[in-house]
């Protein structure tokens, strides 16, 4: 097994939690975000699609969902920035017998709202949502979504049938939005009891009916923290925005080389700013023309501009997956992304200039940014 290095973050540091196909890494830098130290690999050999930082109520807890091809998936946490990890007796996220399903992968770990000290959510494959109300000690399947009558018609995408996005409405404790590939988005307004599809305006290029009620392959949705009714959506063909909490979605693929892609990030305070990484075609799924370009909008999608300074523009056939982009909460905001070729890039000035933070990592599948307060 490889030697694991640890970082020692301090108050005021920025963390990057990087999940790869062969383990997890933790990077730290001070607020300048110029120099990064890297810790890991943690869980070498396991794919880590889901990671999260829970800094609520004085915690410094990192969550990870390593999935071993052989031994299955487990949810584990560390209160000392990766030096030690919990090792549950049995899988803590597990389907009840009545569900007649087995956990394949943990895709998303989301701490609850600031008012919900011990609440966490977890999106998994096969597509399901789990909830914990005891700080992750125990987890329960959200039955309302699992028993949805449309679930038997959901289809797996390239990454399996996964629930990969969980968005908690900060102004309404009963409203949660999830995104599933391939089922589209579902929303609850009664804290998970009942769910309805919420895909109006989002097309499904691969179906006979291009605008079905459900069945879209939503790749990622990012919600503004300061204007939560606004969200940006990167679809499997299609780039969208909503200004009405997801009731309707409008096409904003204006001036991008492709409206196909996976990742999308939104500015921490300015709801007009977002970032994407367009990819070419459905089959190729690499950056167009061998140029690694992050596209940024500063007017909610009316225009997108390529941000390329510091990024390779020749022979760069990169793929940035749905969870492999993150935005921190600082001013100016830091933007980070990882590629399937194991490169990690970051910008501490909202995309004007980029630096390569790491190379030679295993294929990056998730990047999360956090501020240690």
Partner 1 sequence: MSYLFVIPGPLRELAGGRSEVRLDGAADSVRAALTLLGRDYPKVHDRIVTELGEVRPHINIFIDGDSFRDVGGLAAPVRNGAEILILPAVSGG
* Options 100-108, 161-169, 219-227, 287-295: segment touching partner 1 (CB under 8 A): 100-108
**Which region, left, alpha or beta, applies to residue 247 given φ > 0 means left and ψ of -120 to 50 means alpha?**
alpha
In the chain, the N- to C-terminal Cα span, in Å, equals 33
Tell the smallest beta-carbon distance from residue 92 to partner 1 (Å): 10
CA 84/CA 370 separation, integer angstroms: 19
* Helix ranges, 121-278 (H): 143-146
* Options 95-103, 127-135, 315-323, 324-332: segment touching partner 1 (CB under 8 A): 95-103
Contact at 8 Å (CB) between 340 and 317? no
Question: Quick check: 177 binds partner 1 (CB under 8 A)?
Answer: no
Tell the smallest beta-carbon distance from residue 19 to partner 1 (Å): 16
Beta strand 260-266 with 274-279 is antiparallel
Q: Please list every residue from 102 through 121 that binds partner 1, using CB under 8 A.
A: 102-103
Q: Which of 73, 185 has the CB closer to partner 1?
A: 73
Question: Quick check: 250 binds partner 1 (CB under 8 A)?
Answer: no
Task: Tell me the three state secondary structure of residue 299.
Answer: coil
The single residue among 55, 86, 91, 243 that binds partner 1, judged by CB under 8 A, is: 91
The single residue among 4, 38, 59, 95 that binds partner 1, judged by CB under 8 A, is: 95
With 0-12 CB in 10 A as exposed, 13-18 as middle and 19+ as buried, what is 9? buried
Tell the smallest beta-carbon distance from residue 70 to partner 1 (Å): 4
Task: Tell me the three state secondary structure of residue 271.
Answer: coil
Tell the smallest beta-carbon distance from residue 259 to partner 1 (Å): 31
Q: Please list every residue from 26 through 45 that binds partner 1, using CB under 8 A.
A: 45
Tell the smallest beta-carbon distance from residue 15 to partner 1 (Å): 28
With 0-12 CB in 10 A as exposed, 13-18 as middle and 19+ as buried, what is 19? buried
Question: Quick check: 101 binds partner 1 (CB under 8 A)?
Answer: yes
Q: Which of 3, 90 has the CB closer to partner 1?
A: 90
The number of beta carbons lying within 10 Å of the beta carbon of residue 299 is 11
Residues of the shown chain interacting with partner 1 in the complex, contacts defined by CB under 8 A: 45, 68-72, 89-91, 94-97, 99-103
């Amino acid at each position: 097994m490889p030697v694991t290095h640890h970082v020692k973050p301090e108050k005021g540091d920025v963390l990057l939690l990087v999940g790869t196909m062969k383990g997890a890494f933790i990077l730290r830098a001070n607020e300048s975000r110029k120099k990064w130290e890297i810790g890991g690999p943690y869980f070498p050999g396991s794919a880590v699609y889901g990671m999260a930082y829970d800094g609520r109520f004085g915690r410094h807890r990192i969550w990870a969902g390593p999935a071993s091809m052989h031994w299955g998936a487990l949810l584990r946490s560390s209160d000392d920035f990766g030096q030690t990890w919990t090792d549950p007796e049995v899988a803590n996220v597990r389907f009840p017998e009545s569900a007649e399903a087995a956990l394949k992968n943990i895709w998303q770990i989301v701490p609850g709202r600031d008012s919900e000290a011990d609440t966490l959510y977890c999106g998994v494959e096969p597509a399901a949502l789990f909830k914990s109300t005891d700080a992750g000690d125990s987890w329960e399947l959200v039955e309302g979504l699992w028993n949805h009558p449309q679930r038997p018609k959901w289809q797996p995408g390239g990454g399996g049938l996964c629930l990969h996005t969980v968005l908690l409405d900060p102004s309404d404790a009963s409203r949660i939005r999830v995104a599933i590939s391939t089922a589209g988005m579902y929303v609850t307004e009664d804290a998970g009891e009942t769910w309805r599809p919420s895909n109006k305006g989002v097309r499904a290029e691969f179906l006979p009916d291009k605008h079905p009620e459900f069945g879209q392959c939503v790749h990622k949705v990012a919600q503004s923290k300061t204007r939560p009714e606004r969200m940006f959506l990167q679809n499997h063909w299609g780039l969208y925005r909503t200004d009405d909490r997801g009731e309707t979605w409008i096409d904003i693929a204006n001036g991008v080389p492709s409206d196909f892609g996976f990742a999308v990030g939104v500015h921490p305070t300015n709801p007009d700013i977002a970032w994407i990484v367009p990819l070419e075609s459905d089959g190729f799924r690499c950056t167009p023309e061998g140029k690694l370009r992050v596209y940024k909008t500063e007017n909610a999608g009316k225009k997108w501009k390529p941000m390329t300074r510091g990024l390779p523009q020749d022979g760069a056939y990169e793929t940035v997956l749905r969870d492999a982009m993150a935005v921190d909460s600082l001013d100016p905001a830091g933007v980070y992304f990882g590629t399937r070729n194991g490169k990690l890039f970051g910008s501490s000035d909202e995309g004007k200039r980029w630096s390569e933070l790491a190379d030679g990592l295993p294929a990056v599948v998730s990047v999360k940014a956090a501020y240690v307060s």
